[in-house]
Amino acid sequence: MTAAATRRSSRRRSASRTKWTTVILFCSPFIVGVVLFLGYPVGAALYYSLTDYQAGSLLAPKFVGFANYVQALVHADDFWVGVRNTLWMVLIMVPLRTLWAVFVAWAINRVKRGARVYRTIAYLPSMVPVVGVALSFIVVLNPAGPLNTVLSRFGVNGPSWLGDPAWTKPSLVLMALWVAGDVIVIVGAAMLDVPVQLYEAAEIDGAGGWRRFWHVTLPGISPVIYFSLITGMIYTFQYFTEAFVVSGATSNGATSSNQVVGYPHQSLLFYSTEIYEQGFSYFKTGYASALAWMLFAVILVATVVFIRVSRRWVSYDGGGR
């Protein structure tokens, strides 16, 4: 190799190193952020889940193996209450929210005039902060509040809603339906994207409105329905803010933290609120970390299963069936 070729090769290597150094420098804020605020907390939670440790304690963590996991699965009654309430929300609220979004989007798209206005009205509640929504519904669902007042005009004696354990979770479902505007807008856009030729072909074949909706519209929007269901499932497994705000605001007569979280009668005790109570009320950091890792495992397994099952009914070609 000549001296000139050697110099050219050296310059190329130097330019390549400079390029990668520049790339790493620009990416370093993200990399450092992921390591410090995601990687380290996740690793620390896994370590603490295998120890007997209290946050703020001067004592070093004591390794106990899987004792925290065994305690949760075998000896903790509150754990299973949180599991049952969370599964209720996942199995009831998530499908209902998606069905409601599909219905409202379909109704708006059938409007001849003012569809944009109605779409905006449907979307606006989803822009309200979650805490604001929860506080608003505490007023609306008060036993002497606006909703029961309207029901009384029709001769219906409204329930206590957030004060009755039988109606607390349905009240949260109503709240979720009210703020489903983001899903409504996405589903509505997907409906408008279904090829018109498919509707025309189905109509020529003699398909009525319901059959066109079932065989053309639903397959055409199935990817959006899938997106709504899987993101709703992941969010609801971690359901916390609404339940925590409602419990705290309605538990006026409670005298201790274990009466506030999940009020009334543990009907709003969800898995994430149980993690909060164990970690920040009782400062059982090791036990709370074990609960968090079990939640991560459940969400991971449920997501993988849902992705595999979705291959049977999700169509990405925009065609009917």
Cα gap 109→111, rounded to integer Å? 5
Task: Please say whether the beta carbons of 293 and 73 come within 8 A.
Answer: no
pLDDT of residue 316: 82
pLDDT in the model for residue 24: 86
- Predicted local distance difference test score (pLDDT) of residue 15: 67
User: Peptide bond preceding 264: is omega within 30 degrees of 0, i.e. cis?
Assistant: yes
What is the model's pLDDT at position 254? 58
Amino acid code (one letter) for 210: W
pTM: 0.88
In order along its 321 residues, the chain shows pLDDT tens digits of: 566 666 666 767 776 778 888 888 888 999 999 999 999 999 999 999 999 999 888 888 999 999 999 999 998 889 999 999 999 999 999 999 999 999 999 999 999 889 999 999 999 999 999 999 999 999 999 999 999 999 999 999 999 999 999 999 999 999 999 999 999 999 999 999 999 999 999 999 888 889 999 999 999 999 999 999 999 999 999 999 999 999 988 887 555 556 688 989 999 999 999 999 999 999 999 999 999 999 999 999 999 999 999 989 998 875 544
Per-residue pLDDT, 47: 96
Q: What does the pLDDT read at residue 257?
A: 56
Which string of b and e fits 136-175 if b means at least 16 CB within 10 Å? Answer: ebbebbbeebebbeeeeeeeeebbbbbbeeebbbbbbbbb
Phi, psi of 51 (to 5 degrees): -130, 165
In CATH, what class is 77-310? mainly alpha
